[in-house]
Every structure is written in structure tokens, then in C-alpha cells.
Amino acid sequence: MTAIHAPRGTRDLYGDEMARFALIETEARSLLARYGYSEIRTPIFEARNLFERSVGDATDIVAKELYNFKDRKDREMALRPEGTAGVVRAYIQNNLGAAGLAKYFYLGPMFRYERPQGGRYRQFYQLGCELFGADSVAADLEIIGIAERFLANLSVDAKLKINFIGCAECKKAYAAAIAAFFLPHADSLCGDCQKRITKNPLRLLDCKVPACGTIAETVPDQSLCEKCSTRFISIERGLKELEVSFVIDRRMVRGLDYYTGIVFEMTSQNLDAQDAILGGGRYDELVGELGGPKTPAIGFAIGLDRLARLVVPPSENPAHGASRTPFVYVIGFPDDPTHAAMRFSEKLRDVFPEKRIEQGLVARSLKAHLREADKLGASYVVIIGEDEIGKGSVTIKKMQDGSQSTAPMSSDETILRESFK
Ligand code: AMP
């Protein structure tokens, strides 16, 4: 029979890569709690029109990459391609803004039908952060600051790029300017971009087809209304005051329609072609557009698959290395009808809650058990054979120098701590 493989663009996470994910998630939970953000989990699938109305039906994410399906009652559904739309839906549905400011983070899989390549998957993982109810520059700076600190805490070097897309009027005016600029070049554009000229001109700036990209590079910069340009300057000043380094990229529009105001991305030089690790921005219209009360909001999403490639693996990070190798490997030998080895292992787990205690679970010779313990890098081996059971004791072997000692099987915590120093 042929073996079944995971679908293209998906993969199993285990071993070292899984450990890196876990490290990132632990850091995220601890850091975000310190900023007052709490976790939210929304469904992995939602009504398809949620994404059409938020991310935008003319974006690549929705038009080309959505995993959509009909459920058994013929309702149009889609696997979520990003996290913000679902969180905004939840915010409205559960009236999460009732208490004023609302700060949430989420972690989980996202789905996009993209062409898989290094660092790009069809199921990938994001950590996102959303702040509702604050339209201040301080809120913008807090969100960017969290992203910066998070990466710094993980010792990941990244470059911050910012842009200001502007209010609904500024966006509309820029869309018209872009359409007018591209129109004479229509024949040189890809089929999608020809449609974008009338349907969604801003998206002309992030087409991945090289011929379209070349034209996009010569598009004039967006001009902003006075309110928007004052805001942009205040954010720039704020970042300088906070000593956050950044570059301005006036052509960065990001691949989602809902942004207004500040947008930003972070990239790493230590990744190959897919170098974007994080993207975010302000979306002050989205809550209102999805039927909620008009609410200012800002957030970002980090791609964990790419971030995981950049973090120092837990085994090289002393703070997270404790459980990588067993502290004690317990052998019940040759067979252990009263489960003395298991009872002793459990006792060790009580006394050393932070250590890894491994029990030999496969029936094999004492020699083979010792070889296995050595291979795993155990600091101690405990042997509980017929002799030991007869005497009510255990043999403790220190792997570093091979020295052996014995201890009563019923040892209390003090004796155990003394025996495994
Ligand atoms: P976006 O929602 O497109 O702004 O993406 C935010 C971050 O998610 C990006 O910077 C990437 O790190 C990550 N990301 C987006 N799409 C993928 C994908 N197909 N595979 C892996 N990571 C992705």
C-alpha cells in the first residue's frame, strides 16, 4: 500500500523545530502578559465573506490563495488566511470593547494556497497582537515597540520598514493617482494588474510579476493630507526618541486592504528570498466596516515558521536547556512485576520537578539499557534489579565517572537530593 503524505505545503513539527516554536511561544506569552495583552483563540474557519470584506476580495490572499469550501449545508466557508479578521469578528460579536481598551494576542495556524518554497507554506503559523480602542501615537509606538522587544528578547536581528497609507481620503486619492499612472502601461502589465487598474489600484504596488514590479518602482510617492502627514511625522519622531531604528518605504502598501495610517514590516537578512518576518499596521475602519462600532485599532502578525529559523535552538540556550537531556535514567531489570522502577521514577519527578526523568520502557539487557542512557546523555542511572528489590534499595550510577552508590528505595527527599547532587 502506498503511504499517505501530509498535503503539499504542510509539514509536521517535531524535534528541534518544535522546540524552537515552543521557545518562541513561551517568550510571547510572558512578554505580552507584561504589556497587558491576553490570549484569544478564534475558529480556524470562518464564513468566507468575513475575509472578502476585511482582507479584500481583490487581494491575492482572497482572490487566489483562499482555502474555501462549502460545508454540508452549502454554506461558504474558508480556512483563515490571517488572524486579524477573526479577532475583529470576535471583538464585535462578544462586545469585547465594552470595557474600553481591548488588548489581545493570538497564536495559531493560517492557510494560504501559495506556491510552497523555502519559508513559505500553505499551513503556516502566526503570532499576532491587536490593540482596540486607542488612536494615539503612543498606541502605534507600543505595538511597534512590542514587536521590536519580542525579536530582541529572542536575539533576532531585524530591520524595521514603515510607511503611512493614510486616512480613507488619502487612500482614495492615491488609488486614483496610481490608476492614472498605470493606465498608459496597461499593455505591459499581467492580466491581474490590468484588472487591478479599475478594481483595486493600490494592489498594483505589490504584484510579484517582475514586469509589473518595474513599473511600480517608478510610481510617484503618495501625498498625504495635513492630518496624516502630521501623524506620520509624530510617529517618526516617537521612534527616534525611543531609539528604534527604521527606514521609510513609501511604496509599501502591504497585501491586505484594511490598513489605514501607519503600516510596517520587519525583515531579516538571515533568511533567503522569503525574508519578511512580521507585518502590521493601523486599521481604524475595519471594526465599523464589519458591523461593529467605529473603533480605532492597530496590530501586527509575526510568521513563526520564519522566526523559528532565526532563534537560537533551545539546546544552545542555557535558560531553556534543562529538559534536553535526562537527569536520571531509571532501569527496572530484568522484569519488574511490582513496578518498583516506575514508582521510583515518579518519586524522582516529585523531588526534581524541573528535571527530566526517563524510565527504560523497552525490555532489554542491562548493558543495552546502559548504552541507551549514555546515548541520551543521562547524568545518573538508577538500577533496580532482583538484588535491589530483595534489599529494598536502589543502585545509583553517576555516568560522568562511573562511580556507584546505593540508597534505600524508600528514601525521603533529603536523601534523594543528597544522592543526586
Ligand atoms: P501577512 O499577513 O501577509 O502580513 O504576513 C505576516 C507574516 O506572516 C509574514 O511576514 C511572514 O513571516 C508570515 N507569512 C505569511 N505568509 C506565509 C506563508 N505562506 N508561509 C510562511 N509564513 C508566512
pLDDT tens, 231-272?
999 999 999 999 999 999 998 988 788 899 999 999 998 887
CB 111 within 8 A of CB 7: no
Q: What is the H or E stretch that residue 105 is in?
A: strand 102-111
How confident is the model at residue 58, as a pLDDT? 81
> Rounded to the nearest whole angstrom, what is the distance from the C-alpha of residue 313 to the centroid of ligand 1?
21
Given this model, what pLDDT does residue 330 score? 95
Q: Which atom of ligand 1 is found nearest the CA of 112?
A: 19
Which atom of ligand 1 is nearest the CA belonging to 126? 8
Pocket test for ligand 1, best of 156, 274, 282 (most atoms within 8 A of CB): 274
The model's confidence at residue 26, banded by pLDDT at 50, 70 and 90, is very high
pLDDT, tens digit (0-9, with 9 covering 90-100), for 112-153: 999 999 899 999 999 999 999 999 999 999 999 999 999 999
**Nearest alpha carbon to residue 139 among 231, 251, 245, 47:** 231
* Best residue among 60, 110, 298 to mutate for probing ligand 1, ranked by most atoms within 8 Å of CB: 110
pLDDT in tens, 146-160: 999 999 999 999 999
Distance 112 CA to ligand 1 centre (A): 9
Check if the beta carbon of residue 171 is closer than 8 Å to that of residue 200.
Answer: no
Reduced 3-state DSSP string for 292-316: CCCCCEEEEEEEHHHHHHHCCCHHH
Res. 24: pLDDT tops 80: yes
Number of H-type helices and E-type strands within the chain? 15, 16
The ligand 1 atom nearest the CA atom of 116: 19
Contacts of residue 276, Cβ cutoff 8 Å, sequence gap at least 6 = 265, 266, 267, 303, 306
Per-residue pLDDT at 78 exceeds 70: yes
pLDDT at 325: 81
3 state DSSP class of 144: helix
pLDDT of residue 164: 96
Ligand 1 centre from 51 Cα, in Å? 16
Cα–Cα distance between 223 and 165 in angstroms, integer?
Answer: 10
| Cis amide linkage into residue 318, ω under 30° from 0 | no
Of all protein residues, the one whose alpha carbon is nearest to atom 4 of ligand 1 is: 279
Ligand 1: atom nearest CA of 114 is 19
Backbone angles phi, psi at 291, to 5 degrees: 100, 5
Give residue 323's pLDDT: 60
C-alpha to C-alpha distances, 175 to 64, 179, 205, 406, nearest whole angstrom? 21, 6, 10, 79
pLDDT digits (tens, 9 = 90+) for 345-402: 999 999 998 889 999 988 889 999 999 999 999 999 999 999 999 999 999 999 999 9
CB-CB contact of 276 with 265 (8 Å):
yes
CA of 277 to the centre of ligand 1 (A): 7
> Looking at ligand 1, which residue's alpha carbon is closest to its atom 7?
303
Cα–Cα separations (whole angstroms), residue 345 to 359, 401, 412: 7, 22, 13
Please give the average per-residue pLDDT across 198-207, as a whole number.
Answer: 87
Q: Which atom of ligand 1 is nearest to the CA of 302?
A: 7
User: Of the candidates 130, 100, 142, 133, which has an alpha carbon nearest to the alpha carbon of residue 38?
Assistant: 130
Measured from CB, residues less than 6 Å from any atom of ligand 1 are 82, 112, 114, 120-121, 124, 126, 255, 276-279, 301, 303, 305-306
Q: Of all protein residues, whose CA lies closest to atom 20 belonging to ligand 1? A: 120
Residue whose CA lies nearest to ligand 1 atom number 2 = 82
Instruction: Compute the distance from residue 349 Cα to the ligand 1 centre, in Å.
Output: 40
The dihedral sign for the CA sequence 257, 259, 261, 262: negative
